Amino acid sequence: MANRSTYRKLIYSDLGFIDYKQAWDLQKEIFTQRLRGEIDDTLFLLEHPHTYTLGKVADKENLLSNDDQLKELGISVYEIDRGGDITYHGPGQIVGYPIINLSEWKEDTHEYLRGLEEVIMKTCAEYGLQTERNSKYTGVWIGKRKIAAIGIKVSRWITMHGFAFNISTDLNFFGGIVPCGIRDKDVTSLKRELGKEIDINEVKNKVRENFKIVFGYDEIIEKPKHEFEFAKVSPELKETN
């Protein structure tokens, strides 16, 4: 557990709409800086263009679309190093990448996952939605409908990757995959559950504040996107289509 005599700061940046490769490279750079103690814990919130990502234990059979379909729909596919199976990122979905040192909170990856779920659950509650955890599957659920997926990587107690929270996402894009490898469940969004459009920037603000509460930060320091340096595309990142 973190020493609460320590004043904890969280750097926050809304990266807006950003290519998956760019965000991945930025994660790696901030991870290195955090490991070296050159930067405080950092939370990025953003949206990606249409993208399918496969975690390190993903079953490729869960990618249902063929190359022609992927090209026609403009969907990129990446094999990455987070946990979990396959998921979709796209417009109308808040993707969160916390790069934080768990040694200053709790050195427990399971507690960290529950914390990420709690952030989304608290945010949904502010819109009058009752959500729950599933004992078998990570993420946030409304009955049998998944509203947020979570996939992380933790190395030397520094976190990477994070969560994908459907706000006004076009859920049809989930039809090209078996989301998270789960065949008997559905996906949903705030828009679908509430029956109306929701301002995604409003939701980002709520997610940011709930992240602060759940993970015990004393202060949020906002940093604009232009203050970050975007590295070249990582050679380790493999596009499969």
* Catalytic center residues: 180
Query: Which CB contacts under 8 angstroms, 24+ apart, belong to 69-74?
Result: 69/176, 70/176, 70/241, 71/241, 73/173, 73/176, 74/49, 74/50
The amino acid occupying position 42 is: T
Q: b/e per residue, 61-97, with b = 16+ CB within 10 A?
A: ebbebeeeebeeeebbbbbbebbbbbbbbbebbbbbb
Q: What angle separates helix 109-125 from helix 200-214, to the nearest 10 degrees?
A: 140
* Beta bridge partners of residue 63, listed in sequence order: 177
62 phi and psi angles, rounded to 5 deg:
-80, -5
